[in-house]
Structure 1
Amino acid sequence: MDETLKILVVDDDEVDRMAVRRALLKTALDIDLIEANDGATAQSAVKSSQFDCILIDYFLPDQNGLELVKHLRRLEIDTPLVVLTGQGDEQVAVEVMKAGAADYLSKARIAPATLARSVQGAIRLHRAEQAAHVANQRLKQSNDQLRQQNDELAERRAQIETQNQELMKAYRLKSEFIATISHELRTPMNAIMGFSQLLLRQYPDPLSEQQLDMVKRIFDNSRNLLGMVNEVLDFSKIEANRLEIHPQDFQLSTLMLATVQELQPLALDKNLTLETHLPDPLNPLQMMTDPEFLRRILVNLISNAIKFTESGGVTICANPLDGDQIELSVQDTGIGIPPEYLETIFEPFRQVDQSLTRSHPGTGLGLAITHSLVKAMQGTISVTSQPEK
């Protein structure tokens, strides 16, 4: 210990106090020594000053050392105490140690090394106990803070759970509302398209060129709107987990050719070529999956390719892979997709051009529905593209 230690010696015998002082001065300790000749004086000194260690004679004129130790502890003075006595009574040693003394030393054994060791040991023990007490207090505070934070987190978790339940309820109601509205819109839209087709036949009376153009616009816009309504309805079914797959055996080549023939008018309206490449015309490519799902996937991808292609054409290919897998690809010569949008085009309501003035209208659900259908068929879908290609 390089610091100066302030020590109080309590003893009514001046010779004994001098012996303690001489022994301490012969040690390597830097000592500031204060003396008291009875318990009352010692108590006054302790109340007015802070000591590093107190050496107490067991036999004092006003009270014995055991009583003084107990009294100091009742005053919550936690300074390390070393009791000195002229007798080596072990019972006395046990009692003073129980009362709160750090050590017990016989005056006959007071030598510089012994006294220094006792004082240093008492101070080190006291400081270790203080450090442990501080650490325990900090640990208790940390535990209290953690307990409070856990309570706050539990409360917050309960709030989030309640909010999630409310959101799920609102989400369910929204899906049901969209499904209902979409279903109700299909009936009048089909009627509009049906009557438009009757007018386009020009029977029994022909239409003027202007009337024919207006009826054709009604039919085209009705068809586009019905397509959007169907997409919203299909997506609401997917969200509600009402998508059921019905696998059956069919010929892929036949389905592909029929689907391409169905969409051929869309390509002809834009002077685009629409080609189908099959690996072997003699091999019909038998498949066991849901043919309606696959037809919907092809319709979505091919019509999407036609919509975003102004010149050139669209090519549909089927390539058998290893095992029982088949790769279908739809390629076009359209406007292409920038790299930063490739990871998000299969998300619902995602479109590269989200502005109100975009030149290619739509709900942004076609590729999201396609992705869900492919996933339901345990397949995978990916995109490769770059602008203007």
Structure 2
Amino acid sequence: MSEEQFSILLVDDDKVDRLAVRRALSKAGLMANLTEAKNGADAMSELKVRQNFGGVDQVNCSDSASNYLGHIFDLVLLDYRLPDIDGLHLLSQIKAFNLYLPVIVLTGQGDEEIAVEIMKAGAADYLSKAKIEPKGLAKAINSAVRIHKAELAVELINKRLRISNELLIFKNQELERQQEQIKLQNVQLQESYKLKSEFLATMSHELRTPMNAIMGFSQLLLRQYGDPLSEQQQNLIQRIFSNSKNLLDMINEMLDFSKIEAGRLEIRPQRFNLGNLINLTIEELRSLAVQKQLDLTAEVKLKDSYIVQDANFIKRIIVNLVSNAIKFTDIGTVKIKVWEIDPDKIAIAITDTGIGIAPVDRDKIFQAFRQLDQGFTRQHSGTGLGLAITKSLVTMMGGKINLESQLDEGSTFTIEIPRKYDA
């Protein structure tokens, strides 16, 4: 006996047939709340009332039937032949009223064509009135309700999936809109970046001309053609020359950086003697070390001093790193060491005994316009571009740069580059 209780609408104009169904349900032990309708109009009225949670007159097959007051039916047992309408048309009316219920059609003809027609119209099953018996009826009802509930569960899952898909589609559309906005912003940023680089390049170029003129006239005055200058006049002109040179160095850094940003700085590899280049560059910078009473030394240990790289790039790197080492070292030495890591790779290390760099600041120093002391009262001047340019030049040559440093003990910048530039 089934423990599940069903609310069933029986639609049949024949009182004897309705009684037969009730008896079959009772014998099968099927707990059911049975509501009877004699024609199609009564059936639709019952369905509408139930859908609106109204009360109904009930014929009980179980003491638990009162639990189904106001509950939509679990199943409809529908006679195919009704006095006011046939089963197929009533079935279509039930669907038109948006009542999704399993319907078992009861037919007395036993016509297979009618059965097929009924199933095509959406009936869950059909039974011949002549063959209604308790077990078969109970089995058909249980099966129809079970399948209907499974279909409802599937429909609910599909509905949730549709809602989820719609939500995903909406989110994807929103993401696409945001991506388009980001792309537009990137284009605008790139355009602004390009304009900034062009502005820096133009201004740097324009400023170099008057700076060169100021330095040239200062040098002419220092040569003291005609009347000799007083010591005070010489000091003033020397200051003009020194400050102009500092400004020109900054302008050159800005120009180089703007070229790197704009991708207009080209590498020009050539075969040259690295040892000679190192020694000549050191001699050009020696006066800076002498002014601070620092020892500036170079140690070149190469089996073959000739390499194929951009000589100007390497010279600029040495000038930047050695100048920085001298700037931030007050006592001690600045040393350049060159050696072969392997036959295809060269290392250049610049070591100083200066102020050193804290671990937290080591990544920052290679960022453009970044200086460890950013205040207006900082002791050491500069644009903050030297190391950023150095790293860019090393990268363009296919190399890398490393830093080892201890506060108050000094720093070592080590460059590793291929012996031969690989385009």
Common fold, TM-score beyond 0.5? yes
Among residues 292, 302, 305, which one is paired with 2:325 in the alignment?
305
Match in the other structure for 1:55: 77
Amino acid at match of 1:35: E
Amino acid at match of 2:317: I
Distance 1:115 1:356, change over 3 A: farther
Contact 1:55 1:81 in 2 (8 A): yes
1:99 aligns with 2:121: yes
* Cα root mean square deviation, aligned: 2.1
1: distance between equivalents of 2:300 and 2:73? 100
Contact 1:254 1:284 in 2 (8 A): no
Identity %: 55
1:370 aligns with 2:390: yes
SS of the residue corresponding to residue 383 of structure 1 reads: strand
1: distance between equivalents of 2:398 and 2:90? 87
Question: How does 1:121-270 map onto structure 2 within 5 Å?
Answer: 121-270=143-292
1:220-241 deviation per Cα after TM superposition (whole angstroms, max 9, x unaligned): 2211111100000011111121
1: distance between equivalents of 2:270 and 2:93? 96
1:171-203 deviation per Cα after TM superposition (whole angstroms, max 9, x unaligned): 222212211111111111112222223333445
Shift of residue 34, structure 1, vs aligned partner: 1.3
More off after superposition, 75-84 vs 108-117: 108-117
Calculate the TM-score normalised by the size of structure 2. 0.85
More off after superposition, 286-295 vs 132-141: 132-141
Calculate the TM-score normalised by the size of structure 1. 0.92
Distance 1:313 1:22, change over 3 A: same
Match in the other structure for 2:37: 36
Match in the other structure for 2:61: none
Match in the other structure for 2:358: 338
Contact 1:247 1:290 in 2 (8 A): yes
Residue ranges of structure 1 left out of the alignment (5+ in a row): none
Amino acid at match of 2:288: L
1:323 aligns with 2:343: yes
SS of the residue corresponding to residue 205 of structure 2 reads: helix
Shift of residue 6, structure 1, vs aligned partner: 0.8
Amino acid at match of 1:166: Q
Match in the other structure for 1:79: 101
1:17 aligns with 2:18: yes
More off after superposition, 145-154 vs 307-316: 145-154
Contact 1:192 1:219 in 2 (8 A): yes
Residue ranges of structure 2 left out of the alignment (5+ in a row): 51-71, 410-423
2: distance between equivalents of 1:122 and 1:236? 79
SS of the residue corresponding to residue 63 of structure 1 reads: coil
1: distance between equivalents of 2:339 and 2:250? 31
2: distance between equivalents of 1:67 and 1:187? 98
1: distance between equivalents of 2:137 and 2:378? 95
2: distance between equivalents of 1:350 and 1:242? 23
